[in-house]
Amino acid sequence: LVAIWEYDRRPANGASFVCHGQWHRIVSDDPDYYGQIVAYEKGVCTALGIRNGPSHGEVKWYQGAPILVEVGSRCHGGDGLWVDVAEECLGHSQASMTVDAYLDPNGRFAALSADGSERVKFGALKWMISYEEGILKGYNEAFLDEIRNMESYRGDQLFVKPGGIMKKTQNCFTWGGCVKLVNADEAQLKRDYYRIEEMEQSGLFILDHTQVIPQLSYVGVVDPFSTGA
């Protein structure tokens, strides 16, 4: 086990299952709960014959038991925004451990415990949720300055450029951006996380509602490899 990420999924904009962020967890946070999830996921990998390389699995807790959402023989997705957070929280990540499996198999890789390592710091990714729709004029600079001066701030990525179409967030394709957060103090991490959530609802995104959003036609190509895409 390299890492556990717990999704913060709540209703937004008429969608019932929007991911607002994800929290970095370790098994010792709740050994029975996370322990069952980890054992279940390892059983899934074994049943599917996934033996070599990293694996990303998603599991939901339903009526007192873990149930599979998806699994693949690949790294966790999300543009790799999780790498820096995991490295600072644990001292390793899926990316670095994959390299160590080849270059230091009897050292760092062999030293990885079966249920993850002891936490050094607490971490999270805060996905930016848009509650309006329009042409993006820009971002509230005062809010961006506040975010970038937070004690927990470790970087951000803004997904929509000025002049682009900002849609109400209903899925992973309509996030406004992402902020990486890490702190030794879990309470401060949570304060920073939920302060960003306040900004989302009070003018973080500056939109032009006078322009008509163009109605585009699409050709869809479905990749059945992952339910996430």
Residue 226 pLDDT: 58
How many whole angstroms from its chain centre is CA 200? 17
User: How distant, in Å, are the alpha carbons of 39, 47, 225 from that of 71?
Assistant: 14, 11, 9
Q: Rounded to whole angstroms, how far apart are CA atoms 180 and 4?
A: 16
pLDDT the model gives residue 224: 65
Report the pLDDT value the prediction gives residue 52, as an integer from 0 to 100: 86
Global pTM value: 0.91
Tell me the HSE value of 180 on the side-chain side, using a 13 A CA sphere: 16
Q: Which candidate, 200, 225, 188, 226, places its Cα nearest to that of 10? A: 200
- 44, 57 in Cβ contact below 8 A? yes
pLDDT score recorded for residue 65: 95
Give the model's pLDDT for residue 229: 47
Q: Taking the chain (229 residues) in consecutive chunks of 10 residues, what is each chunk's mean pLDDT?
A: 94 95 95 94 95 91 94 88 95 93 93 81 98 96 98 97 95 95 98 98 94 82 62
Mark residue 80 as left, alpha or beta (left: phi above 0; alpha: psi -120 to 50; beta: remaining).
left
Picking from 143, 190, 140, the residue whose alpha carbon sits closest to that of residue 166 is 140
> Which amino acid does the sequence have at 59?
V
Residue 172: closest CA among 6, 3, 17, 14: 17
State the maximum Cα–Cα separation within the chain, in Å, rounded to a whole number.
61
Any idea of the CA torsion for 113, 115, 121, 125, to the nearest 10 degrees? 130
| Sequence-ordered list of residues with C-beta below 8 angstroms from that of 223, at least 6 positions apart, any chain | 229
The predicted pLDDT at position 215 comes to 80
